[in-house]
Amino acid sequence: MTREEQVGERFGRLVVVEEMEMKRRWQRRVLVRCDCGTEKGVRLTSLTSGNTKSCGCLQKELIALRGLVHGHTARKVITSEYAAWRAMLQRCLNARHRAWRNYGGRGITVCDRWRDFKNFLADMGHKPSPDHSLDRIDNNAGYSKENCKWSTSSEQNRNRRMTPTFLENIQRAQRQRAQQVRAMRQQGGGPVA
């Protein structure tokens, strides 16, 4: 396999950025970028073997989650908040996520504090109900304690930002209207400016 072929390849949360200099013969090393933003060097074989799937953040999250769901805490509720947190990270940090274009792709970020699920849960608290989901108050600002709340889907729809397609449709209609007006003027009729 040539070196270039591995660049851009994904292993779990890690994407290969570039080949690194070998420290020992037969031990190819690559620089990888994790979905959480961390970059580090790893042995290529640890990726291809499936042993390494993140910079270490995945293990930390799982340990934190295990601590949280331990004991008498409502396991189901926490799983739901954890899912919301994971989905938020994916939308903002994983360029391969289907919704990334509308989040990470247009500069919507997750504050540093919320890269850790424990902090996210501490700031947001539990979902008031299963119908609630994570909502941003200002749709052009990122995910942080100040800009987020749990909302029901009907509350969210009320302040949903205009989608690019919707805006494009309005702009197209305005252009068509302007063309019609010009055409009418050229024919000597229609409204006079």
Q: What is the CA radius of gyration of the chain?
A: 24
Q: Which of residues 145-164 bind Zn ion (CB under 5 A)?
A: none
Output 14 or 121, the one with its CB closest to Zn ion.
14
Out of 7, 20, 31, 57, the only residue in the binding site for Zn ion (CB under 5 A) is: 57
**Half-sphere exposure (Cβ direction) of 186: Cα atoms closer than 13 Å:** 6
As measured in angstroms, the least distance from the Cβ of 14 to Zn ion is 8
Out of 15, 36, 108, 148, the only residue in the binding site for Zn ion (CB under 5 A) is: 36
CA separation (Å) from 62 to 50, 65, 149?
A: 17, 5, 24
| Span from 15-23, 35-43, 62-70, 147-155 in contact with Zn ion (CB under 5 A) | 35-43
Q: Is 34 a binder of Zn ion (CB under 5 A)?
A: yes
As measured in angstroms, the least distance from the Cβ of 115 to Zn ion is 8
The continuous run of DSSP H or E covering 87 comes out as helix 75-93
Q: Is 54 a binder of Zn ion (CB under 5 A)?
A: yes
CA separation (Å) from 148 to 38, 111, 171?
A: 25, 11, 30
C-beta neighbour count of 24 within 10 angstroms: 8
The site for Zn ion (CB under 5 A) is made up of: 34, 36, 38, 54-55, 57
